[in-house]
Amino acid sequence: TVFDYPDGRLVIKHRGRALPYRTFDKVRQVDQAAIVENKRLGPVLAYIAEQQKLLDVSRSQKAPRRRGQGASLFKAG
C-alpha cells in the first residue's frame, strides 16, 4: 500500500512493514564529468550526450505532478 502524506512524503508498506525505496529518473542526462573520467567509454558517452541534445527529451507536460513537497524526497540513495 502506498501512503501519500500531505507534506509530500511517500511510504510504501507491505503487511504493515515500511519498505525502503528510491526513485528512478527516466530522463537522465550524461554529464561531462562521466565522459572525462572514463577513458574507454569517453567517446561513446560523448556520442550519447550529443544524441540526447538532438532528441530534446523532456518530462511530459500532461502528466500529473506532485506539488508542495520538499526536494529531499527525490534524492537518489
pTM: 0.37
| List of the chain residues with pLDDT < 50 | 75-77
64 falls within a domain: no
Strands in the chain per DSSP E: 2-4, 10-14, 17-19
* Residue 16 domain-assigned (yes or no): yes
Residue 66 is predicted with a pLDDT of 66
Tell me, yes or no, whether 62 lies in a domain. no
Exposed, middle or buried by CB within 10 Å (0-12, 13-18, 19+), for 52? middle
Q: Is residue 22 included in any domain, yes or no?
A: yes
Q: Count of domains in the chain?
A: 1
Domain limits for position 20:
2-57
Report if residue 74 sits inside a domain: no
Q: Would residue 68 count as lying in a domain?
A: no
Contact 35, 49 (CB under 8 A): yes
Q: What is the pLDDT of residue 54?
A: 77
Q: Say what the pLDDT of residue 12 is.
A: 93
* Residue 69 included in any domain: no
Q: Is residue 35 part of a domain?
A: yes
